[in-house]
Structure 1
């Protein structure tokens, strides 16, 4: 929905709350919808288990990250995704999230999604929906609000 007097605002549904997203989150969510644009950048991913981050590294620079925690039942809780502004709209967020989800699958883990960007990625890539923990799904849908 759009409001002629102002821009559309995105919000996410959590089990018991709805909250507005930041402009940075909206940009990354919009990037998830453009599945036709694979990344042209060569980057590597480092999983820092002590910090709970998967980091995308270009050269010697950290350009994107997905933060997480691991629960006692070996479930990966995906907390947030960030990409430096100059590296957005290049497919890094999508490829980093794909890497994280493939790694969770390889380890036999399920995921709880607290990050709306990861939620949007799975909405556009339903082949990963089976990884979502049925008892603890986290963010369940995205919708648009008027501001």
Structure 2
């Protein structure tokens, strides 16, 4: 079985005034991505408290800022990218649904964010094959 090739996603760099916030979100995502799943869920649930649900536009803007500033997050680092996107949304007062899932044929794990019922920046034909194993949503 050959590894799946991941295309490098590109976006325009965010404005200068937003770059420090993007860099902080990226810096925080790195250690969080190395936490045990139960601890990561607990941290993200804590961070999401008091937020409103993110719109698709807000989540897409956060994703563009992350991918535009970090080439590393435009590739296969989906866990770090999705955490950074969620943190960027939280800075703006919102929270997307943060999801992880697996596909069984072939086996793959993936992490992404959803807003307004759609996976942000993901191919809809591919994302439907993933079974969601963890979701952190806004609590009412």
Note whether the superposition's TM-score is higher than 0.5.
no
The TM-score with structure 1 as length reference comes to 0.31
Greater radius of gyration (CA): 1
The TM-score with structure 2 as length reference comes to 0.32
Instruction: Identify the structure with the greater helix proportion.
Output: 2
